Amino acid sequence: MSKELTNLFEKYLHSALSEQETMRLKHLAGDMDDNTIEDNLFLLWEKYEIPDSRNKKAFLTVSRNLRRLLHPNKLIINYHFILRAAVILLLPLIVSSLVYYFTKQQSYRSFSAFNYSIVTEKGERASVVLPDGTKVYINSGTTLSYPATFGKTDRRVQLSGEAYFEVITDNTLSFIVETSKINIKVLGTIFNVYAYPESEWFETSLIKGSVELNANNGTQIIKLQPNQKARYLYYTGRFEINKTDLRLETAWKRGDLMFRSESVQNVIRQIDMFYGSTTEIEGVFPEKLFTGTFHEDDINQVLKNLQIHYNFKYQKIGNRINIEFNDKQSNEMIKENKE
């Protein structure tokens, strides 16, 4: 399109044509077919168009009037332009749909990346019902996490600490418990998991159903039967499977502290975890093992009962406890134990 014709088209778009310029436009564009007129007009229109419905309608009106001006006696049915106009009008809808789709996809990806976490501090216990109906009882000092998409494509949770699971059966989606070293796979079952990061071992005690334990990236896979306990020693990298006293393994869930031939170090560590205390020890640990059960709300009662077995002095200020073992008494206990 010549520069002169371009200028005339621009003036027409701005309604600035004089009578002589109108005659000149008719002369220059008289031999153009409708497609050529519309194509050239559209190119100019794009420079000034504001993308909203008012301007698109205005363009249709301007284009129709221009064609009538240049071809006053011609019935204009231009399917090429109708198609172009349809594209122009539908473009915002198409773009909006694409934006909505990709926004939803992005939102879903962000949603998928989101994790829910239940965290219990020392001395706290909690319970939660997962989206699939599975009940989880969470011991103190534990973190249980699961994705926002839990139950849609898989049923996978992450555990650091101790928890008791009552898993709802779903034959299409296995339930997976991930810990730092071991993964547990079930379909529907009841079991307890002990997986504190500071511990030297991992344990799973099976109450009902069956579980599959996967260690060392799948190089060790074992299955448990009810009333069995699997202990995985981190320093050996091997499982030990034994019969178990389920009342002992799940005592914490009932609010009990049960000990069977436990060292005093382990007893105190579990007391701290259960009651949220921090204990410092002075003197030599006695080697005498402890067996007993506590169901006390007051930690002082527990310490007094334990004091009978080990004859120590203790002082409690807030949540901090100081225990002082008598070295002479401890040595006598060690000798007695060896004899």
Is-contact 32 55, C-beta < 8 A? no
pLDDT at site 336: 47
Specify the pLDDT at position 111.
Answer: 46
Of 80, 60, 76, nearest to 68 by C-alpha is 76
Cβ atoms of residues 277 and 267 within 8 Å = no
Query: Would you state the pLDDT for residue 115?
Result: 84
| C-alpha to C-alpha distance for 59 and 156, rounded to whole angstroms | 57
> Which helix (H) or strand (E) covers residue 35, if one does?
helix 34-48
Pick the CATH number of 115-249 from 2.60.120.1440, 2.60.40.1170, 1.10.3720.10, 3.20.170.30: 2.60.120.1440
pLDDT in tens, 136-171: 999 999 999 999 889 888 899 999 999 999 999 988
Q: How many residues does the chain have?
A: 339
Give φ, ψ of 50 to 5 degrees: -100, 125
Please list, residue by residue across 100-113, b when 16 or more beta carbons sit within 10 angstroms of its beta carbon and e when fewer do: eeeeeeeeeeeeee
Residue 184's pLDDT is 94
Q: Where are the domains of the chain?
A: 3-111, 115-249, 256-338
pLDDT beneath 50: ranges in the chain: 49-54, 75-77, 79, 108, 111, 329-339
List all residues 6 or more positions away from 199 whose beta carbon is below 8 Å from its beta carbon.
Answer: none
Task: Give residue 28's pLDDT.
Answer: 64
What would the two tokens of residue 67 be? 């064609």
Q: What pLDDT score does 158 carry? A: 95
At residue 139, the pLDDT reads 94
Tell me if 238 sits within 8 A of 222, measured CB to CB: no
- In this prediction the pTM is 0.61
CATH class in words for 256-338: alpha beta
